[in-house]
Amino acid sequence: MIVILKPEASEDLVKDIVSQIEGLGLQAHLSRGQFRTVIGVVGEEVKVDAEHLKAINGVEQVVAIMKPYKLASREFHKDDTVIEIGCPAGGTVKVGGGNCMAIAGPCACEDEAMVHQLAREVRAAGATVLRGGAYKPRTSPYSFQGHGEDALKWLRDAGRENNMPVITEVMDTRHVSIIEKYTDVFQIGARNMQNFNLLFEVGKTRKPVVLKRGLAGSIGEWLMSAEYVLSQGNRQVILCERGIKTFETSLRYTLDVSAVPVVKSLSHLPIIVDPSHAAGDRQFVPSLARAAIAAGADGVMIECHDCPGKALCDGPQALLPETFSQLMKELAAIAGVLGKKFTTTPAVKGSPVAV
Ligand code: PEP
Ligand code: MN
């Protein structure tokens, strides 16, 4: 960090700032020009409160050198992080570092039979993780809110039957323990990207977390949210780009494909893409998914339904399982061109799956 002082800054102020920096266990290097003094801060920059320094009369500018998200940054961890999600009957699903993963399933777990049916279908198509909402973040309080614990049981059982780890959204700190009991991966939804208490709570668990980008979250803010989870000792964070709000209204959101290579350059964490919520319309989901893998994403999250017209939530964007199956073939081919591969579901008692 570099602290640039105003020309009128007094010698006492210089001494005071230097002692504050040294008090934090960092070193201060003074550079005195003809008009101004510049203080170089050497050491663990995240310990310094830049805002506090900026607020001091006599300080002109504070320039950060290190990223404020230390644990999430590539500066801290050069190699891609590979996250391994445990499967119910053994084995793991890997994501990151050349391993791609497809998460698929319904937006919401509507009843037991549909969750089991879709689990079999998406697994046969090559998905390795089963998704399904139990607590749904709906814009209207009058819309279907999810079946809660019943849904968690259906999801867990369908995952066990197909040897698929399962993921569901956690919206509330009060639900962390029940969701941890039934599922393998926490999903933090777009609307909760900056729910810092929730991030702290999932950070205290040791289960992987898929952290969706907020509807209006910058990449820097998103990585700071990842830092919240990482700071609690949970190092298994998977970022998920799901579209942001822009001036463009032709689709539900605008998928920020450029976030994929940008995040890859800034962070070692895996990043996947959810084209379903970005598009809001099944017609556009395959193209966005292909673009995501071509841009270097480590996987996709896609909503599927056997009868989208009857879906309780997000029907317009749900792919039929056969469309998803065709898409998976294309995604596997694109990943192959890039020297990556979609991992397969470890065998379930004599029924291995090939993607
Ligand atoms: C979802 O995955 O069902 C969901 C609500 O996603 P998002 O938080 O991205 O809107
Ligand atoms: Mn949905």
Is the model's pLDDT at 5 over the cut of 90?
yes
Whole-model pTM: value is 0.94
Residue 2: Cβ within 10 Å count:
14
Ligand 1, atom 4, lies closest to the CA of 189
- Ligand closest to the CA atom of residue 243: 1
Q: How far is the CA of 91 from the centre of ligand 2 (A)?
A: 28
pLDDT band at 90 (very low <50, low <70, confident <90, very high): confident
Which numbered atom of ligand 1 lies nearest the CA of 301? 2
Residue type, 6: K
The burial class, CB within 10 Å (0-12 / 13-18 / 19+), for 226 is buried
DSSP alpha helices (H): ranges in 148-284? 148-162, 176-182, 196-204, 219-231, 259-266, 275-279
Domains annotated on the chain, with CATH: 2-63 (3.30.70.1140), 83-342 (3.20.20.70)
What is the length of the chain?
355
- Ligand closest to the CA atom of residue 189: 1
Is the model's pLDDT at 38 over the cut of 90?
yes
pLDDT band at 344 (very low <50, low <70, confident <90, very high): confident
Residue 287's contacts (CB-CB under 8 Å, 6 or more residues apart) are none
Ligand 1: does its nearest atom lie under 6 Å from the Cβ of 189? yes
Is the model's pLDDT at 352 over the cut of 60?
no
Percent of the chain at pLDDT exceeding 70 = 97
Is the model's pLDDT at 295 over the cut of 90?
yes
What is the average pLDDT across 346-350? 61
Residue 184 and residue 167: Cα distance in Å, rounded? 6
| Dihedral angle of Cα 55, 13, 23, 40, to the nearest 10 degrees | 80
Residue 21's contacts (CB-CB under 8 Å, 6 or more residues apart) are 27, 28, 39, 41, 48
Q: How far is the CA of 233 from the centre of ligand 2 (A)?
A: 29
Q: Tell me: the pLDDT tens digits for 206-218?
A: 999 999 999 999 9
- State the DSSP code for 34: S
Helix (H), strand (E) at residue 94: strand 92-95
Q: How far is the CA of 162 from the centre of ligand 1 (A)?
A: 24
Which numbered atom of ligand 1 lies nearest the CA of 136? 5
Is the model's pLDDT at 12 over the cut of 90?
yes
Which numbered atom of ligand 1 lies nearest the CA of 131? 2
- Ligand closest to the CA atom of residue 138: 1
Q: How far is the CA of 114 from the centre of ligand 2 (A)?
A: 16
pLDDT band at 353 (very low <50, low <70, confident <90, very high): low
Cβ–Cβ under 8 Å, residues 41 and 26: yes
What is the average pLDDT across 50-65? 94
Give residue 179's pLDDT: 98
Ligand 1: does its nearest atom lie under 6 Å from the Cβ of 213? no
The burial class, CB within 10 Å (0-12 / 13-18 / 19+), for 339 is exposed
Three-state DSSP at 42 gives strand
CA distances from 203 to 172, 206, 208, 232, 352 (A): 14, 7, 9, 5, 33
Ligand 1, atom 6, lies closest to the CA of 189
Phi-psi region of 126 (alpha: psi -120 to 50; beta: other; left: phi over 0): left
Cβ–Cβ under 8 Å, residues 209 and 225: no
Q: How many helices (H) and strands (E) does the chain have?
A: 11, 15
Question: Mean pLDDT over all residues of the chain?
Answer: 95
Ion ligand 2 — residues with CB < 5 Å: 107, 314
